[in-house]
Copies of this chain bind each other. A is one copy, B any other.
């Protein structure tokens, strides 16, 4: 079943229960009766698992050491956007950060900061998306927290997820592993998530709606780790700051240079058009549903074959290589053959994109 149909089916399977309140109020964050009513109104039920059912201040978890540990707070606006909402974004965002560590995502914490007045229907839809995304990503929400702030002291809802993953036995991911000659692969079309959000904010209308590509990247990463192990030198999802910023960070961290070829960077016509209209460079636009892999040159072709056979990697491409020739710099060969340096994102191109 395609992803969107599965989401619709999930919404149907999880109707909101009858409640004696329509909106979330300050009292729902008090820790008292109203907080219990909110949590017992279906929150615990919908996220149900043995660890969460312990109902303690924290969860007791069996893990295999070493673990990967990562956190993200999500403040995206609008909270509901084409292709998703803040709930699944918060799950996939943290799951993907674990995947980029070469870790199998296992457990999430989930913390809400809700602005007083949020309609319960919106909160419910977010919860259902979280449940759906957790099932997709095979992770469990095992502990959580809910705070409510006054009107005008928040913005509908902020979500923090923090994740624990178990390092994949074949993974050895670190900027230090990157060598001159390594190939740089991107797993899909760039700038999709950022432009889907910007299109809504700017009221752009296209023939087909531009949708966020937010998804679980771990299945693709797992296949690469299984097949190529330590030949996968580095992984990173180019979220805030985009591909250009992440590759600049890598160049700084490994002390080598990076050459990119603009014509090789996968970009949909629709996203390219939206970027042109808004005067944005797609290499600085935030992504959610793609990752960058830096791999041993002699396996790069095979990596591409494996990636393209996965659900999320059909548009994967080799977009450049690591070089000794201009240490700590990222140089782009443009579509008309010129070469220019790509710096990190300066300023704030797209606030609150995740």
Mark A residues whose CB is within 8 Å of B: 25-27, 29-36, 54-75, 97-98, 100-101, 103, 107, 109-113, 142-145, 147-150, 152-155, 158, 160, 162-165, 167, 173-175, 236-237, 239-241, 245, 253, 284, 286, 343-352
Partner of A154, one of B60, B70, B153: B153
Partner of A30, one of B55, B60, B72, B347: B347
Residues of chain B lying within 8 A (CB to CB) of residue A154: 153-155
Residue in B closest to A350 when the chains form the complex, CB atoms: B30
Residues of chain B lying within 8 A (CB to CB) of residue A33: 343-347
Contact across chains for B68 and A34 when beta carbons are under 8 A apart: no
Residues of chain B lying within 8 A (CB to CB) of residue A63: 63, 65-67
Complex Cα spacing A25 to B347, Å: 9
Which of A33, A58, A110, A345 has the largest count of B CB atoms less than 10 A from its CB?
A58
Contact across chains for A70 and B55 when beta carbons are under 8 A apart: no
What is the minimal beta-carbon distance from A33 to any residue of chain B, in angstroms? Answer: 5
What is the minimal beta-carbon distance from A228 to any residue of chain B, in angstroms? Answer: 19
Number of chain copies forming the complex: 2
Residues of chain B lying within 8 A (CB to CB) of residue A284: 32
Contact across chains for B348 and A34 when beta carbons are under 8 A apart: yes
Contact across chains for B62 and A62 when beta carbons are under 8 A apart: no
Instruction: Return 27 A-B CB contacts under 8 Å, by A number.
Output: A26-B351, A27-B348, A29-B351, A29-B352, A30-B348, A33-B344, A56-B100, A56-B173, A57-B70, A57-B100, A58-B100, A60-B66, A63-B66, A71-B109, A71-B110, A71-B111, A71-B143, A71-B160, A72-B111, A73-B145, A73-B160, A75-B147, A148-B351, A150-B351, A153-B155, A160-B160, A162-B162
Partner of A236, one of B57, B70, B347: B57
Supplied contacts A30-B240, A63-B67, 4 more A-B pairs, CB within 8 Å: A58-B103, A71-B109, A73-B147, A75-B149
Residues of chain B lying within 8 A (CB to CB) of residue A29: 240, 348, 351-352
